[in-house]
Structure formats: structure tokens, C-alpha cells
Amino acid sequence: MIRPADALDVQMALARMTRCRVSIHDLTEYEARYTIAFKFLLTLDEDELNVLAREVDSPSQFKEAYDTLKYQCLTRPDYLRER
């Protein structure tokens, strides 16, 4: 089960790292969806979110963990491509 406090910590760490606006798009018990810079959707399941939440206090380790996850979790929605 995803803890809302962990989801918020990851949101703030993502905003610091990317220097973009990050918002929680959808938060359920088993999945968290973030919108990054109004363009990208980052969908994390419980395990992936926990990996990032453990590294929130260390920016370099957080970036490494994010870099390993972003290729499988980061998408650009089709409706944005049509603009």
C-alpha cells in the first residue's frame, strides 16, 4: 500500500531534481501517477515508489534510482502529441 507521505516526498524530490512543476495526477493504493512539466506522465507502482522514497534524502542516489526507472515508467501521453 502506498503511503501518501512517501508519494509527496517523491513529488518534491522530483521537482527539485527536474526543476519543473511536478503534480500528483492520480494516487491509489497500488499506483502513483505524476505529471512532470505538464508534458510527461510518470507512473509508479508500489515497489518503484518505495525505491525512490528510500533515496529522497540523497539527491545523487535519488537521481540514479530515477534514471533506472524512467525508461520503463515515463511516457508522453498521445493527446499532447496531437497539439
Give yes or no for residue 76 having a pLDDT over 80. Answer: no
SS3 content of the chain, % helix, strand, coil (to 5): 50, 25, 25
Mean per-residue pLDDT for 49-53? 94
Q: What is the largest CA-CA distance in the chain?
A: 38
| Structural Rg of the chain based on CA atoms | 12
This prediction's pTM:
0.86
Least confident of 6-20, 49-63, 65-79: 65-79
The string over 44-56, giving b where at least 16 C-beta atoms fall within 10 Å of a residue's C-beta and e elsewhere, is bebebbebbbebb
Give yes or no for residue 48 having a pLDDT over 60. Answer: yes
Mean per-residue pLDDT for 35-50? 90
Question: What is the C-alpha to C-alpha distance for residues 83 and 31, in angstroms, rounded to an integer?
Answer: 28
